[in-house]
Amino acid sequence: MTQSSTDTPQDETLTTDRIDKMAFAASQSGVLIAALELDLFTAISEGFNEPAKFAERTKVPVDSVDRLMSACVGLKLIEKEDGKFFNTPDVDAFLVKGKTSYCGDFFTIQPKVDYNVWNDIVPSLRQSVPENKKPNKGYYFEDSQSARDYAVALYNLRWKGAQRFARRFDFSSYSLFLDLGGGAGTYSIAAAQEHSHLRAIVFDYANVIPVAEEYIQKAGVSDRVKTVSGDFLDTEFPGGADLAAYITCLQVYGPEDVQFLVNKAFNALVPGGGLIIIDYMMNEDKTGHPGALFCHLYQKCISPENPGYVNTPTEFRDYLMKAGFVDILAREPRYGPMGFVFGKKPR
């Protein structure tokens, strides 16, 4: 069959390059995960920066090592000079074990879970995924080790953002901060270190709380930051707080549950207290940052029959209004996928 001239793109600059990158993005993830699991970047920082040296250290064939290192050069994870390899600045900062900024565990745990989810995307959209293939929303918290690994990874990943938040939000008129879904205590610790008058409570799953207590102790704020274990939907929230926050934890819940959780926060706060929500948000027309849009689709994939939902600022505003909050501020994401919502409980 002869292709007609109308089937040919008129713009000769059009190529499949952008589509190609999307279609084969899994290869990039695979290279990164392999490098992390073999501790390549840590080894390079310690001087094992030639294929033969790294092969001896890992007991991986030198030809395999050479291919992996070349692939990492292609992704600009490492650089090659005179036969030796060196980490790029961002890799050196975040993917070398032993550094307080290390985030490598997150980038091995999460993508492996995600791969299985995206692999079943069409059956998920058709709501026909077999029961034995549906990921559990509480996957990371089924045992203490998986909970620890994930909580530690998120702590390191979010630490700088938590410090910025602690500096920028005005905590001066608040005395007790209820950090709902607070994980390893990242935001509570940062806030307590920045504001000496502030006390905080980290609320999260029982398997996560020991990690939070460990970090709280290391940070030297155990006299002011305490922990409470529980489940969002089934456990009563601690009372007495004049500030509460849901930070990147509501997207796994559908609208009815989000309304329920906003109501719970309202009831837990003292009169005049405030609620902060920082979470994935779409723009009002359901467009926005790809991270928020992917997350919205992802929630459908991990739980086709009871999916989470990425809200718009107006939808969050409505939840707060229905709960009874006033003076509500709801802001679309400005730079990344996260938006900001704040409301006050009337006095």
Claim to verify: residue 86 and residue 130 sit in the same structural domain: no
Strands 176-180 and 199-204: parallel
Task: Please check whether residues 249 and 137 belong to one and the same domain.
Answer: yes
Domain that holds residue 144: 112-344
Both 238 and 176 in one domain: the answer is yes
Residue 161 resides in a domain: yes
323 within domain boundaries: yes
My answer on whether 32 and 122 are in the same domain is no
**Whether residue 272 sits in one domain with residue 146:** yes
CATH label of the domain that carries residue 44: 1.10.10.10
Question: Given a cut of 60, is residue 132 above it in pLDDT?
Answer: no
Which of residues 72, 97, 122 is at a domain's end?
97
At 18-70, the pLDDT tens digits run 999 999 999 999 999 999 999 999 999 999 999 999 999 999 999 999 999 99
Model confidence over 190-245: pLDDT tens digits?
999 999 999 999 999 999 999 999 999 999 999 999 999 999 999 999 999 999 99
pTM: 0.90
**Does 291 score more than 90 pLDDT?**
yes
Asked if residue 10 is part of any domain, the answer here is: no
Same structural domain, 88 and 167: no
**274 part of a folded domain:** yes
Residues 6+ apart with CB under 8 A from 196: none
Q: Does some domain include residue 132?
A: yes
Is 271 found in the same domain as 146? yes
Same domain, 85 and 145: no
Do 250 and 323 have their domain in common? yes
CATH number at residue 334: 3.40.50.150
Q: Summarize the confidence of residues 283-308 as an average pLDDT.
A: 92
Statement to judge: residues 160 and 272 lie in one domain: yes
Domain boundary among 68, 97, 126: 97
Domain end (from 66, 97, 128): 97
Asked if 93 and 146 sit in the same domain, the reply is no
Strands of the sheet with 326-331, listed across from one edge:
225-229, 199-204, 176-180, 241-247, 269-280, 338-344, 326-331
Residue 213 within a domain: yes
Q: How many domains does the chain have?
A: 2
Q: How confident is the model at residue 133 (pLDDT cuts 50, 70, 90)?
A: low
User: Does residue 90 sit in the same domain as residue 205?
Assistant: no
Position 139 confidence tier, pLDDT thresholds 50, 70, 90? low
Q: What pLDDT does residue 127 have?
A: 81
Q: Does residue 212 lie within any of the structural domains?
A: yes
The pLDDT assigned to 140 comes to: 56
For residue 311, what pLDDT is reported? 98
Which one is predicted more confidently, 97 or 302? 97
Residue 187 has pLDDT above 60, yes or no: yes
**Does residue 29 lie in a domain region?**
yes
The pLDDT, as a whole number, for residue 120 is: 83
Tell me the two tokens of residue 111: 């993508």
